C-alpha cells in the first residue's frame, strides 16, 4: 500500500470516527431531552461528557500522528477508533429508540387507564385496582372502603348551561375531590356523572369522615365556568361501603355503595350514607 494511501486511510478513519462521535452526542442530547431529571438523566449526561472526551482524544491523536503512519499495522489504532465510534453511535441510537418506545408504551397505558375528560382513572382501571385491594384486604386483614359519588341534579346544569359547562364542572369536581384524597387512594370515573373512590386502609369510620369532607368541600365551592362570569353551585351525594362481614367481593362492595347512594338521594341529596349493617344489601 502506498504511503499516501496509508496516510489518507488512517487519518480518514479517525476523522470519520470524530464525526460519528459528534453524531452520538446529538443522540445523547435527544435522550437527555426525553428523560425527566433523575438517575438516568445524570447517567446520560456523564455519557455525553465521556463521548466529548473521546472526541478530544481523537483530535489529539490526529494532531500527533497526522503524518506518522508508515506501515499497514499503523492502521490498527485508527481502525479501533473508527469501529469504537460506530459502537458508541449504535449504542446511543438503540438506547434512544428503546427510551422512545418505553415512553410510547407508558402513554398508551395511561390512555387506556384514564378518562379523557377528567384525567382520573377509568372504570376498567378501577376494577383492576379494586380487585388488587380486595386481595390485600383478604390476605393482610387491611381495611378497605369505597365511596360512590354522584352529582346532584346534574342534568339541570347541562340543560341550563349546556354540555360544555357540564364537562367543565365534571373536570373541576374531579380535581377538587383529588385534592382531598391521599396519594394511595384511587379515584375513577365510574359512569357519566358518577365517580368512585377506592380508599385502602380505611375503615367505615374514617370513610364516613372522608365522604363528609368531600361533600362539604363541593357544597362550599363556587364553580366558575365558561367566561368565568358563570358561577355555579352544586352538591354531591355519596354512598360509602366497607369491606367486611358479608361484603367481601367487588360486586358486593359496589352494590352496597350503590344502595347507600340510592338512600342518600332518597333522603334529599347533598348527603352521605355510610355503610351500616342496619341497611340490608339489596340485590
Ligand atoms: N356534560 C356532561 N354531562 C354528562 C356526561 N355524562 C353524563 N352526563 C349527564 O349527566 C346527567 C345525569 O342525569 P340523571 O341521571 O338524571 O341524574 P341527575 O340529574 O344528576 O339527578 P340525580 O342523580 O338524581 O341527582 C345527564 O343529563 C347526562 O347527560 C358528560 O360526560 N358530560
Domain with 179 in it: what CATH number? Answer: 3.30.70.270
Mark whether 131 and 266 lie in a shared domain.
Answer: yes
Phi-psi region of 146 (alpha: psi -120 to 50; beta: other; left: phi over 0): beta
Mark whether 32 and 98 lie in a shared domain.
Answer: yes
Which residue among 117, 120, 158 has the greatest number of ligand 1 atoms within 8 angstroms of its CB, and so is best to mutate?
Answer: 158
Mark whether 18 and 84 lie in a shared domain.
Answer: yes
Is 266 within the bounds of a domain?
yes
Judge if the beta carbon of residue 148 lies within 6 A of ligand 1: no
Mark whether 92 and 231 lie in a shared domain.
Answer: no
Tell me the CB-side half-sphere exposure of residue 122, using CA atoms within 13 A.
10
Is 283 within the bounds of a domain?
no
Mark whether 140 and 102 lie in a shared domain.
Answer: no
Helix, strand, or coil (residue 118):
coil
Whole domain around residue 69: which residue ranges? 3-113
Is 269 within the bounds of a domain?
yes
Tell me the CB-side half-sphere exposure of residue 26, using CA atoms within 13 A.
5
Judge if the beta carbon of residue 163 lies within 6 A of ligand 1: yes
Residues classed as catalytic: 193
Which of 113, 140, 173 is the last residue in one of the domains? 113
Judge if the beta carbon of residue 191 lies within 6 A of ligand 1: no
Which of 92, 113, 134 is the last residue in one of the domains? 113
Reported as a pLDDT band with limits 50, 70 and 90, residue 55 is very high
Q: Interface pTM (ipTM) of the complex?
A: 0.96
Mark whether 193 and 74 lie in a shared domain.
Answer: no
Is 37 within the bounds of a domain?
yes
Judge if the beta carbon of residue 34 lies within 6 A of ligand 1: no
Which residue among 166, 226, 237 has the greatest number of ligand 1 atoms within 8 angstroms of its CB, and so is best to mutate?
Answer: 166
Instruction: Say which range, 172-186, 197-211, 228-242, has the weakest mean pLDDT.
Output: 228-242
Position in ligand 1 atom list of the atom nearest CA 117: 31
Average pLDDT score over residue span 175-204: 96
Nearest alpha carbon, ligand 1 atom 6: 192
Reported as a pLDDT band with limits 50, 70 and 90, residue 280 is very low
Mark whether 108 and 133 lie in a shared domain.
Answer: no
User: Across the chain, what does the average pLDDT equal?
Assistant: 92
Mark whether 136 and 162 lie in a shared domain.
Answer: yes
How far away, in angstroms, is 155 Cα from ligand 1 center? 5
Mark whether 105 and 152 lie in a shared domain.
Answer: no
**pLDDT at residue 278 in the model:** 47
Judge if the beta carbon of residue 153 lies within 6 A of ligand 1: yes
Residue 282 has pLDDT above 60, yes or no: no
Mark whether 99 and 129 lie in a shared domain.
Answer: no
Mark whether 47 and 95 lie in a shared domain.
Answer: yes
> Residue 208 is placed in which grid cell?
364516613
**pLDDT at residue 276 in the model:** 60
Mark whether 129 and 254 lie in a shared domain.
Answer: yes
Q: Are strands 272-273 and 236-242 parallel, antiparallel or unpaired?
A: parallel
Is 157 within the bounds of a domain?
yes
Judge if the beta carbon of residue 172 lies within 6 A of ligand 1: no
**pLDDT at residue 34 in the model:** 82
How far away, in angstroms, is 176 Cα from ligand 1 center? 19
Is 282 within the bounds of a domain?
no
How far away, in angstroms, is 132 Cα from ligand 1 center? 30
Average pLDDT score over residue span 88-114: 94
Is 91 within the bounds of a domain?
yes
Is 220 within the bounds of a domain?
yes
**pLDDT at residue 3 in the model:** 73
User: How many domains, the chain?
Assistant: 2
Which of 89, 113, 137 is the last residue in one of the domains? 113
Amino acid at each position: 500500500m502506498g504511503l499516501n494511501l496509508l496516510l489518507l486511510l488512517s487519518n480518514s478513519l479517525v476523522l470519520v470516527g470524530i464525526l460519528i462521535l459528534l453524531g452520538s452526542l446529538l443522540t445523547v442530547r435527544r435522550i437527555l431531552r426525553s428523560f425527566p431529571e433523575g438517575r438516568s438523566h445524570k447517567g446520560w449526561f456523564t455519557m455525553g461528557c465521556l463521548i466529548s472526551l473521546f472526541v478530544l482524544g481523537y483530535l489529539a491523536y490526529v494532531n500527533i500522528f497526522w503524518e506518522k503512519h508508515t506501515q499497514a499495522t499503523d492502521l490498527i489504532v485508527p481502525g479501533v477508533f473508527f469501529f469504537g465510534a460506530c459502537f458508541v453511535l449504535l449504542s446511543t441510537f438503540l438506547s434512544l429508540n428503546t427510551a422512545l418506545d418505553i415512553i410510547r408504551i407508558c402513554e398508551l397505558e395511561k390512555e387506556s387507564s384514564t378518562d379523557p375528560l377528567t384525567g382520573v382513572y377509568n372504570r376498567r382501571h378501577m376494577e383492576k385496582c379494586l380487585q388488587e385491594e380486595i386481595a390485600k384486604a383478604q390476605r393482610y386483614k387491611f381495611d378497605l372502603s369505597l365511596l360512590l359519588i354522584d352529582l346532584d341534579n346534574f342534568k339541570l346544569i347541562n340543560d341550563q348551561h349546556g354540555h360544555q359547562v357540564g364537562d367543565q364542572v365534571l373536570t373541576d369536581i374531579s380535581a377538587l375531590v383529588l385534592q382531598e384524597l391521599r396519594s394511595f387512594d384511587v379515584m375513577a370515573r365510574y359512569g357519566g356523572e358518577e365517580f368512585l373512590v377506592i380508599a385502602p386502609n380505611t375503615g367505615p369510620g374514617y370513610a364516613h369522615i372522608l365522604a363528609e369532607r368531600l361533600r362539604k368541600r363541593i357544597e362550599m365551592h363556587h364553580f366558575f365556568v365558561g367566561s368565568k362570569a358563570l358561577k355555579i353551585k352544586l352538591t354531591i351525594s355519596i354512598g360509602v361501603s366497607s369491606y367486611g362481614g358479608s361484603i367481601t367481593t367487588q360486586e358486593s362492595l359496589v352494590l352496597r355503595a350503590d344502595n347507600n347512594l340510592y338512600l342518600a338521594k332518597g333522603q334529599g341529596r347533598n348527603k352521605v350514607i355510610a355503610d351500616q349493617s342496619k341497611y340490608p344489601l339489596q340485590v
